[in-house]
Every structure is written in structure tokens, then in C-alpha cells.
Structure 1
Amino acid sequence: MSNKEILFEDDHIQVIYVKEPSEDIVITFSTLTKFADGSYVFAERPLVNLGYSIIGFVAKRGNWYPHSSVELSFGKIYSIIDNYRTIIGYGGSMGGYAVLKYSKSLRMSKAISFIPQYSINPKVIKDERYNSYYKEDINQDMEITTNDISSSCKYQLVFDPYFGLDTQHINMIKPLLSDVIITRLKFSGHGAAYILAGSNLLNSFLSNELDNVHYNKLVRQHKKENIFYFNYLFDKYYKRHPLLFYKLFNGISDANKSKLNSNIYKNLINSLILNGFDINSIFSKRSFSS
């Protein structure tokens, strides 16, 4: 059982320490999908399974971790992280932004940021998904700058290069980073963090010093058996490339086929018929009954 303690709390954030017998600590920042409740820590289960201690920043709403709040937590955090060999940052989307923004202040040696935002200020960047969250009183001057970036930290950005809403942020962030690995998770939309979830792959990201080629190889292997990825991919692209997706479908395990969204089967069959394919010759009886 992990030893869990609330280190800091104000109107905007909660910071929780999960203590494990480890030499390394991961500082996580939560996404918009779940807010502070006194115990929630982003990615707690896989990180604890891997033996990492955690300091988890959790927002109380979609506030993009205001500097005024995060800064107030530094005193207690420094007294803890000074006892660890390695400090790693990890987060996605709103949390991915915060990993980059506070990487230098929190003395990270590695910062892994999934699908981050550069800013949500509508005067800086147009993004209808998040512009409405911007509050002048707490988010003023929130953009990531070179002053936030540490020369002793290795950075990794993970995103879908074909998802324009995210790549506009990435294109503004990349020039700020000199030591960065770019991991392109094609056809994942804004779901990169979910597609790469799981202890085994996460451990590769946290512990290994790999180059782009090896990271991309790991990602390709993991995607082949990831249900979130296939559900997203089929839903978005099956109409344009039905036979390609039949081949992808046929390549995943029978166990994982049964976990796919049931509409995938119906939609894929209809699309194949509309495109003139003989479904009886390409679908096995087992595929229909799955």
C-alpha cells in the first residue's frame, strides 16, 4: 500500500505525494478528464506498479495550472524531490502543457509531454476546444517560453502529426526545445495518452534513453494491440479505406477483436459492400460472429 499525502492545496490545484521505496520520482499533471478529489493522481496505478514515487498535480477545474498556485507549492516539493536521484515529468494535454511550463522550476531531468498546448489564450492561438477556459486573472502570460526550459532536461513530445489542432501547438513549442525527441503517433487524434497507456510501454518512455527510430518502433508495436487506437481509427477512416481496415482488423488478436466497438463491424461491412467488395470472400464466419 502506497503512502499518500496531500502536500499542497488551494482554490485551483491539489498536490499529492505518493511515496514508494524508489530512487526516482515522477511528477505528473492531470488532464481535463478528472479533477481533484483528495486522492486521485494521474497515472498512479502504472507508475506505482513500476515502483516509482509520484508527486501528482491535479487541477480542480480546467485552469491550466496557474503559475501563482503552482509556485506556492514549490517549497514543500523541493524538500521532497531533493531526496531523489532522478526527477521525471509526465502529463498529457493540459497536463502536457504544465510538464513543459514547469520543467525547469521542478528540476526535471526528463519531461514527457503528450499532446500539449502552447497556450490557450485566444489572442495567442485559436483553438476552440480550449480558448473558453482562458481566464485573464490566472492565465495571463501563460505561454511556454525559453525561460521555462532547462538545458539539463531531455524533452519528449508525443502527438499526431495529422491532427492540425494539436500540431499548431507543437509547432510553437518545438523551437523552444534544443534536446527533444519527437514521437509521432499517426492517426491517433487527441488520444495519444490513452493509446500509449500501460505499464510496459510507459516504463520504456520513463527509463530508456532511446532515439526516435526506437521509440517509433515501440509505438508501432503497441498500437497493433491497442483497442482505443483501433476504435478511433476505424470510426474516423473506415469509409475511405475499408479494405485497409479489414487488413488491420484481421491482424489483431481474437481476444482484442471482441473488445472493439460493436458498430465497427456493421460500419466496416457496409462500407465494403458500398465499395463493391465481396464480403463473403474476405470475411471469415468467425469475424461476423465476434
Structure 2
Amino acid sequence: MLKLNQQVRIQVDDVFIQYHIFDVNQPVMVTFSPYSEPITEEQISSGKSAWGFELFAKRQLNVVAFNHIGKNNIFESQIFEAFLVDFGKQLTLFPSRIGYGASLGGFAVALYAKTLGLDRALLLMPVSTFNQSIAPWEPKTFSHSRGVGLDASGCTIPLTIIYDPLFVPDKLHKERFASCVKVLTITGVGHRVLRALRDLNMLSSVVLEYREGDINSDNFYQRTRNRRNLSYYFKHIRTVNTGKLTNKRLMIIYRHKLAYHLKNLDVNPKKIITKLKVSLSKKVIRLMKIFRLQPLRN
């Protein structure tokens, strides 16, 4: 049975679970960690919190957080899956159950939504499957694991999905979720939606707003306009649009990129110098190949 009014930390096979139930008359948030946020045995022993736990617990909001232990772990454990069957029944005491996950976490939320009795979920750049035969565009595939047979696209609860439509893998994954009822886009950040929202100081407010009911689209898009202040925005927007941008659009991108670098010259000059050296080295190598020159030898 769920323990109330106390923080609980348990481990089921290769998944770390942390929850705190403050009020059974309020909704419970059920979170799953992204691929980039595995937790280690040492971190668990030292008291590190599961991904997503602190966001809700520090506000005294009911939360159950699932974090994968170690890399190449996609919540595929049969032991963990069996545990969720009973655990999901215990969650029925809450008036509503809301899912939240990013990338791999979005995959897990959608995959186990029915088992956990979730009513709706917010997914950031969710992966629909790691099966290479189904999704050959997905960069992370695990042909050696049971995960190849898992497909989260059959999720039937209402989903709100936030993703970058210019990033092809995420776009194709999003299109596989038939139960998606709302889409919010943040263009030009690639598979960095979670990081971008965090860097824009939007992540917490967006997730909490969803918990309360829905995300205000107008406000969301107004705030994400500040992504031009993110260094990786310029790199990605230029890469995915190679050969497609007009000269006018390119000039706008370069103008904002220059303004960003001028504004941040004093942040890390060593990093800038290193990048310039690497860039110059690449250009020299390219020229040598073109003219078939051999490097000088001592």
C-alpha cells in the first residue's frame, strides 16, 4: 500500500522510484526520466532525488517519480512492468493521475499510461518506439533488448506534446501518437526542448500550468521567442535549413547570432578561442584535401 505523508524511496529491478503523497484529494503527478538523466546506484545511496520529483515535492504536490538506473535502460524490465500492475491500482484513490515525461520519459509515460490509469499526460519530444524496423529514423535503437517489441504509439489518453517540428525524428515520432490532442512547438532547438524550456526559465511554470488544466498557447509562444538568446538555437536552425533559407532569413539569423556572441564575449573567452582554432583547423584540412596537399612532416 502507498505510504502517506512521507517521502518513500524504493528500487524495483533497474528502476528507482521516489514518491511523496501529501493529499489524496489532490491530483498525483507521475513522471518518467529522459534518456539523458539516468541515475546511478551511488547517487541513490547518497540521497539524490529522482528526475521530476523535486519540482512537485517542494510545492507539496503529490508526485511519483520513476528514474531509470544506468544507461541503455528504457524502462523495459518485466519485473518493473509487473510491479506497475499493482501499483497502478493503488493510484485509483486520487481524483486524477497526470503523466509527465521527456524523450525516453515520454515513451514510458505513454507506454504505461493504461497500466497506471493515467487520465492525461504532457510529453516533451517523446519517442514512440525504439524499434528500428518501425522507426529507422530514431538515433537511439536497441536491437539487442526486449525494448524492440515495445511501442508507445498505441497510447489512448489525451496527450499534449511539445516538440521541434524541424527536427525530423521528433516530428515523425509525434505523428505516430494518434491520441495527441494539443501540440506546442518550439522551433529550432532540435531534441533540446527540455533544455530550452529550462534555459528560458519556462519549464516549471509550463509543467505546473498543465497540471492545473491546460497551457496557454499565446503566452507559451510569446515566451519562446526568447530562444534567439540560446546559443544552440542558431546552430540547429542553420543546420536543418541548409539550402532552404532565403538570404533575408539568413541575414536575420546571423544578425541575432552576432548579437548573442557580442553580448556573451566575456562569458568564456577560452571556449571561444578554442572553437575558432577548431574551425580554422577544419578549414585548413578541407583545403588540403581539395588541393591534394600533404601535411608538413618534421
Q: TM-score, normalised by structure 2?
A: 0.70
What SS does the corresponding residue of 1:28 show, helix, strand or coil?
A: strand
**Mapped contact 2:16–2:50 kept (Cα < 8 A):** no
1:164 maps to which of 151, 168, 171: 168
Which structure 2 residues correspond to residues 1-290 of structure 1 after superposition, within 5 A? 3-10=6-13, 12-21=14-23, 23-36=26-39, 37-38=43-44, 39-60=48-69, 61-66=71-76, 68-75=78-85, 77-78=87-88, 80-127=90-137, 129-131=139-141, 133-136=142-145, 138-146=146-154, 149-150=155-156, 153-171=157-175, 173-174=176-177, 176-177=178-179, 180-197=181-198, 198-210=203-215, 214-215=216-217, 217-225=218-226, 230-237=230-237, 241-244=250-253, 246-247=255-256
* Counterpart-to-counterpart distance in 2, 1:220 and 1:107: 31
**Mapped contact 2:165–2:187 kept (Cα < 8 A):** yes
- Quote the RMSD (CA, aligned, Å): 3.4
Instruction: Return closer, same or farther for 1:238/1:144 CA change in 2, 3 Å cut-off.
Output: closer
**Mapped contact 1:16–1:55 kept (Cα < 8 A):** yes
Moved more, 240-249 or 230-239: 240-249
Deviations 1:184-243 (A, max 9, x none): 221120011222233222212222235xxx42x23223324458x612112334697343
Instruction: Return closer, same or farther for 1:56/1:122 CA change in 2, 3 Å cut-off.
Output: same
Instruction: Return closer, same or farther for 1:246/1:27 CA change in 2, 3 Å cut-off.
Output: same
Aligned twin of 1:282: none
Deviations 1:38-70 (A, max 9, x none): 243112232234432211111123222116233
Instruction: Return closer, same or farther for 1:121/1:237 CA change in 2, 3 Å cut-off.
Output: closer
**Mapped contact 2:30–2:99 kept (Cα < 8 A):** yes
Deviations 1:132-156 (A, max 9, x none): x3434x224201253xx33xx3211
**Mapped contact 2:85–2:115 kept (Cα < 8 A):** no
Instruction: Return closer, same or farther for 1:113/1:67 CA change in 2, 3 Å cut-off.
Output: farther
**Mapped contact 1:25–1:53 kept (Cα < 8 A):** yes
**Structure 1 residue ranges without an equivalent (≥5):** 268-290
What SS does the corresponding residue of 2:115 show, helix, strand or coil?
A: coil
**Mapped contact 1:120–1:127 kept (Cα < 8 A):** no
Paired residue total: 248
| CA shift for structure 1 position 105 | 1.3
**Structure 2 residue ranges without an equivalent (≥5):** 240-244, 276-298
> Which amino acid in 1 is paired with 2:233?
L
**Mapped contact 2:22–2:61 kept (Cα < 8 A):** yes
**Mapped contact 1:9–1:15 kept (Cα < 8 A):** yes
- Percent of pairs with identical residues: 16
* Counterpart-to-counterpart distance in 2, 1:185 and 1:111: 18
> Which amino acid in 1 is paired with 2:50?
V
* Counterpart-to-counterpart distance in 2, 1:26 and 1:15: 13
> Which amino acid in 2 is paired with 1:74?
L
Instruction: Return closer, same or farther for 1:180/1:58 CA change in 2, 3 Å cut-off.
Output: same
What SS does the corresponding residue of 1:246 show, helix, strand or coil?
A: helix
* Counterpart-to-counterpart distance in 2, 1:192 and 1:242: 25
What SS does the corresponding residue of 1:62 show, helix, strand or coil?
A: coil
Aligned twin of 1:284: none
Q: TM-score, normalised by structure 1?
A: 0.72
| CA shift for structure 1 position 127 | 3.5
Aligned twin of 1:274: none
